[in-house]
């Protein structure tokens, strides 16, 4: 018999606040919020130990709608604020809600350093490839040629791919999902929650006001099967209506190629499942190839592209401090009297 009182199982409702949600009707953020509120009760973390931190932008309103601790900070700086929060209290479960402009434009530097330090925070990047809150300018993930208010002749900027950026910054967990694909998104969120270190999740999110349909070419029912590759660790990289298309590594070019099972390849050899790459989420080179596949020649890779365990910044900082405390007493008087002194 145990006297420990088990906390009541939390539900989705426990995570909702009394604030009216103020995103535009039809915004992909609603779906992300619903899925997050569905996953969080499963994690077994007390509400009081969760902190949502955000920067500026539509996505950054997120903390107001989560009945946890929340800090709506300034543009791009959420990872930097989180750095201090985790340094002060590494026990907190810290989640960041950010967007493509917040995370990759004004806050690109902080995200880079958060990833390489491996701060133990979960980063949800809502990528809608547009600036929404400032009413429709192109973003660092907008495609070349994008016509917006600030680029009436089309954007000349080369976009950045968030997942490849995260991999390049030595992120320890890099995943992708889609706002409306609840099952997949909740699976990815669970994985992110379980990861120790910076769990970077890019979520393709539709802005129905300023960039409606940005992801329809692979999100729609019509294209979903042919243009999405749902990666799973240890499973072959297969996709297509019949699940008969796969990715093969060309050892001469060190590049990927799409092959069809049972069909002859360019050299006339019939492709079998043995030829198809098996996803290994601990392989950074493979993750990079998957993140950078050109579309629509290749499908869009979704799921956990990369995950590795390595020490987190906050745990290392904490350990170092604890070692210092164990090695030397905290004697202020002794500090002030250290070195050369003289009595008058």
Partner 1 sequence: MTTEAAVPSSPLESSPAEGLVDSAPRRKLRGAVVRFAGDSGDGMQVTGSQFTSSTALAGNDLATFPDFPAEIRAPAGTTYGVSGFQINFASEDVFTPGDAADVLVTMNPAALKTNLKDLKRGGLLIANSGAFSTANLKKAGYATNPLEDGSLDGYELLTIDITKNTQAAVKESGLSNKESNRCKNFWTLGLMFWIYGRDMAPTIDWIEKKFAKQPEVARANVLALKAGHAYGETAEISHYRYEVPKAPVEPGLYRNIGGNIATAWGLVAASQLAKLPLVLGAYPITPASDVLHELSRHKQFGISTIQAEDEIAAVCAAIGASYAGNIGVTATSGPGMALKGEALGLAVSTELPLVIINIQRGGPSTGLPTKTEQADLLQAMYGRNGEAPVAVLAAQSPGDCFYMAIEAVRLATKYMAPVILLTDGYLANGTEPWKIPDVADLPRLDVQFRTDPEGFHPFLRDPETLARAWAIPGTPGLRHRIGGLEKDYDSGHISYDPANHERMCKVRAEKIERMARDIPEQTIEEGVDSGKLLVVGWGSTYGAIREAVRRCRARGLDVSHAHVRYLNPLPRNLGDVLGRFERVLVPELNLGQLSLLLRSRYLVPAESYPKIQGQPFRIAEIEDKIRQLLES
Residues that bind partner 1 (CB under 8 A): 17, 19, 46-49, 51, 53, 63-64, 67-74, 77, 79-89, 91-92, 109-110, 112-113, 317, 320-321, 324-325, 327-330, 332-333, 335-337, 339-344
134 phi, psi to nearest 5 deg: -95, 10
- The nearer residue to partner 1, 106 or 258, going by C-beta atoms, is 106
Our CB check for partner 1 shows the closer of 186 and 316 to be 316
CB of 90 to partner 1, least distance (A): 10
Please name the residues in contact with 98: beta carbons below 8 A apart, sequence gap of 6 or more. Answer: 54, 55, 57, 59, 60, 78, 107, 111, 123, 124, 125, 126
Q: Which residue's CB is nearer to partner 1, number 251 or number 333?
A: 333
User: How far apart (Å, rounded) are the C-alpha atoms in residues 216 and 259?
Assistant: 24
- Which residues pair with residue 16 across a beta bridge? 66
Of the pair 30, 71, the CB lying nearest partner 1 is at: 71
Tell me the two tokens of residue 283.
């392989």
What gap in Å lies between CA 262 and CA 273, rounded to an integer? 9
Q: Which two tokens stand for residue 147?
A: 């016509």
Asked if 167 contacts 140 with a C-beta cutoff of 8 angstroms, the reply is: no
Which stretches of 65-186 are assigned E, i.e. beta strand? 69-72, 93-99, 121-127, 173-178
Q: How far is the CB of 331 from partner 1 (least distance, A)?
A: 8
Strand partners for 123: 96, 200
Minimum gap (Å) between residue 326 Cβ and partner 1: 8
Q: And the tokens for 223?
A: 């294209």
- Residue number, 48 or 297, with CB nearest to partner 1: 48
Give the sheet arrangement for strand 255-260, strand by strand: 238-239, 245-250, 255-260
Name the residue nearer to partner 1 (CB basis): 85 or 307: 85
Closer CB to partner 1, 1 or 326, in the complex? 326
Whole-angstrom CA distances from 190 to 53, 184, 193, 195 are 19, 10, 5, 9
State in angstroms the smallest separation of the CB of 206 from partner 1. 25
- Shortest distance (Å) from residue 19 CB to partner 1: 7
């Amino acid at each position: 018999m145990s006297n420990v009182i088990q906390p009541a199982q939390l539900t989705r409702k426990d995570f909702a606040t009394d604030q009216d949600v103020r995103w535009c009707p039809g915004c992909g953020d609603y779906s992300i919020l619903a899925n997050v509120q569905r996953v969080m009760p499963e994690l077994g973390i007390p509400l009081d130990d969760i902190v949502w931190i955000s920067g500026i932008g539509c996505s950054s309103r997120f903390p107001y709608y989560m009945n946890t601790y929340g800090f709506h900070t300034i543009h791009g700086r959420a990872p930097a604020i989180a750095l201090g929060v985790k340094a002060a209290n590494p026990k907190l479960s810290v989640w960041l809600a950010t967007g493509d402009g917040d995370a990759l434009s004004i806050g690109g530097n902080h995200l880079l350093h958060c990833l390489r330090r491996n701060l133990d925070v979960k980063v949800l990047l809502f990528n809608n490839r547009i600036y929404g809150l400032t009413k429709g300018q192109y973003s660092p993930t907008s495609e070349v040629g994008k016509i917006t208010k600030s680029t009436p002749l089309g954007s000349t900027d080369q976009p950045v791919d968030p997942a490849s950026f995260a991999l390049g910054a030595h992120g320890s967990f890099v995943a992708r999902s889609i706002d409306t694909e609840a099952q997949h998104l909740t699976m990815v969120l669970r994985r992110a929650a379980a990861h120790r270190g910076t769990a970077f999740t890019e979520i393709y999110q539709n802005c129905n006001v300023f960039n409606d349909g940005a992801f329809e070419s692979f999100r729609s029912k019509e294209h979903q099967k042919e243009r999405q590759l749902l990666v799973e660790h240890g499973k072959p990289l297969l996709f297509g209506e019949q699940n008969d298309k796969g990715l093969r590594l060309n050892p001469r070019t060190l590049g990927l190629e799409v092959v069809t099972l049972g069909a002859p390849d360019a050299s006339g050899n019939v492709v079998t499942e043995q030829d198809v790459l098996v996803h290994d989420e601990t392989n950074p080179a493979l993750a990079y190839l998957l993140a950078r596949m050109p579309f629509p020649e290749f499908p869009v890779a979704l799921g956990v592209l990369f995950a590795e365990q390595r020490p987190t910044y906050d745990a290392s900082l904490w350990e170092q401090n604890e070692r210092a405390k164990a090695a030397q007493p905290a004697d202020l008087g002794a500090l002030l009297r250290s070195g050369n002194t003289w009595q008058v």
